[in-house]
Chain A
Amino acid sequence: MTITLAILLGVAFGVTLDRIGATNPGYIIRMLNLSNLHLMKTILLGIGVASILMFGALLLGLVDPGHLSVKAAYGGVFIGGLLLGLGFAVAGYCPGTGLTALATGRIDALVFVIGGLVGAFAYMLTFGSIAETALFDKIAGGEATLGPISGTDYPALFDVMSGEWLGMIAGVAFVAIAWVLPARIDAARK
């Protein structure tokens, strides 16, 4: 059953990534150099829609809170984000879009994935010597969310209202940003 779900959801995600243009590194690069924000608008709307549906379903008791999986916040998350951002801009690939682009027949994506396997291996060999450093000191209790979410023990950043309603508001904010974001910035670019 789990494997059937993995196949169905995986195929749906792969088809979606290809259909929104995310398997084309040209769209990712042009999102990042701000000359075509189509994909940025798509991603922001996607996050917003997913958030509204998920928190709405949590409020209605349709989603098992145990399905949530909030990752820990620590300094390495930011540093890792910086490293990923650099490679993301140079190649126009991230791990998921690199693998799917490879599947669509892009050769530079194959090279990116091989580089990725080497990079992941380098991290596996490095982890033992950095595991005890301040890079992994938790921020705000680790697996923190904006507000307290019922049925979970994630620490909350703000305790003013329920995490579910804060999540709905965050979702609406993502949708609104997707809506107002222009199709491109820096129109003077030639």
Chain B
Amino acid sequence: MTSWKQVPLSWKRGGLLLGLVFFAAVLLAKPIGVSTQFVILDGILWDAVDPTVVVPAEEAKSGYTSTNPYLDKSGGKYAKNVANPLNYSFVFVIAMMGGALISAVFRGGVPRDERTMPAVWRANFGDAPWKRYLAAFGAGFLVLFGARLAGGCTSGHMMSGMMQTALSGYIFSAGAFLIAIPTALYLFRKEG
């Protein structure tokens, strides 16, 4: 007997819920996206160390300019969000983390031995945490560098993009799965 309490939910319930959330976002505000906020957080940290990185500028479209060409692109759109972290997209991502925390607490949290690595990693690479952390760091680097080059990630391009029948969403997903599936087949031969 399946229920709304089991984790993971059945694919029918889970997919329905996921679809409703993506629809609600575009109905009420705008399509969901996450990876830009890594840039905004980087910008906030960078600006804290060096306050000349983002400065107000009356002539800029957003009202802000940056010495960094990426933060300054599209009229200083990202520079503005770095200067005002209390904006929709940044708060959305913080709230998303809060939501996951609440859900995890209600299901009793993540078991201790799972917190360092998932079972499938342990089955294939042993239980040395440093190996998993090294791989996770390198993977994080690649994922965010790639997402920024692509202009979006799994949420923005794959889910929101294909939801809107965006050509970019199909191109991104083709690229991602073209590499991800063979890599996972090669690396994770044991199921765990």
CB <8 Å contact, A103 and B100? yes
CB <8 Å contact, B12 and A127? no
Given contacts A3-B88, A89-B181, A119-B143, contact A80 B149 (CB under 8 A): yes
Tell yes or no: B48 within 8 A of A by CB. no
Report how far A19 CA is from B185 CA in the complex, Å: 25
Q: How far is the CB of A57 from chain B (nearest CB, A)?
A: 7
Tell yes or no: B56 within 8 A of A by CB. no
CB <8 Å contact, B139 and A67? no
Nearest residue in B to A91 (C-beta to C-beta)? B139
Given contacts A99-B97, A104-B104, A116-B141, contact A90 B135 (CB under 8 A): yes
CB <8 Å contact, B145 and A18? no
CB <8 Å contact, A112 and B140? yes
**How many residues on the A side are at the interface (Cβ–Cβ under 8 A)?**
127
Q: Which residues of A contact B96 (CB under 8 A)?
A: 10-11, 13-14, 17, 96, 99-100
Report how far A43 CA is from B189 CA in the complex, Å: 24
Tell yes or no: B179 within 8 A of A by CB. yes
What secondary structure prevails in chain B residues at the interface with A?
helix
Q: Which residues of B contact A189 (CB under 8 A)?
A: 189, 191
Give the residue among B104, B163, B164 with the most A Cβ atoms within 10 A: B164
Tell yes or no: B57 within 8 A of A by CB. no
Report how far A14 CA is from B164 CA in the complex, Å: 21
Report B138-164 CB contacts with A as 1/0, cut-off 8 Å.
111111111111111111111111111
CB <8 Å contact, B27 and A6? no
Q: Which residues of A contact B89 (CB under 8 A)?
A: 6
A-B contact pairs, 24 of them (CB 8 A): A21-B8, A32-B183, A32-B188, A33-B181, A38-B11, A41-B15, A42-B11, A45-B15, A50-B163, A69-B31, A70-B164, A70-B166, A76-B150, A78-B171, A81-B179, A84-B143, A85-B183, A87-B141, A88-B176, A89-B183, A90-B187, A91-B139, A105-B110, A121-B42
Known: A12-B99, A86-B142, A122-B145; 19 extra A-B contacts, CB below 8 A, are A10-B91, A20-B9, A25-B121, A50-B22, A54-B164, A57-B27, A70-B168, A71-B151, A78-B175, A81-B176, A88-B139, A90-B136, A94-B154, A99-B34, A112-B139, A115-B136, A118-B141, A120-B144, A189-B189
